[in-house]
Amino acid sequence: MFEELKEEDFSLIQKAKDIIKANYDSQNYRHTVGCALRCADGEIYLGVNVYLAHGACAEMIAMGTAITAGKREFECIVAIGGNNSDIIYSPCGNCRQMLMDYCPECYVIINTHEGVKKTKAKNLIPFAYETPFN
């Protein structure tokens, strides 16, 4: 179920760290998570969360940006929390469902009891509600 990270995955983690470090909002806590999404063609799209009442997660912003650019095939995604942080966040329930709807075969980098690993998005939400898009 879990796979070891490759060099390109560590690079993706670094890009997520860089984007949140560049955009972290310590005064208003509006931008506290950064995300990097690698598409099947190797292009990387970035996002930060936008917090208002509930807001939009960094994963949603990154995927929306990629989709806006015409991308539809996604390979791997990771979210990093905080400024100067190495905390890898597991996707929230909404993001898990989004990943199931758009890219169940996409890898998601997460923390496990055995360290940082990656797994397919479909493994993060057992017995998932499946939309007609799947």
- The residue assigned the tokens 């397919």 is 120
Give residue 88's region: left, alpha or beta (phi > 0; psi -120 to 50). Answer: beta
Q: Which entry of 59, 75, 105, 114 is annotated as an active-site residue?
A: 59
Measured CA to CA in angstroms, residue 116 lies from 29, 31, 37, 70 at distances of 26, 23, 17, 30
**7 has catalytic annotation:** no
Active site residues: 59
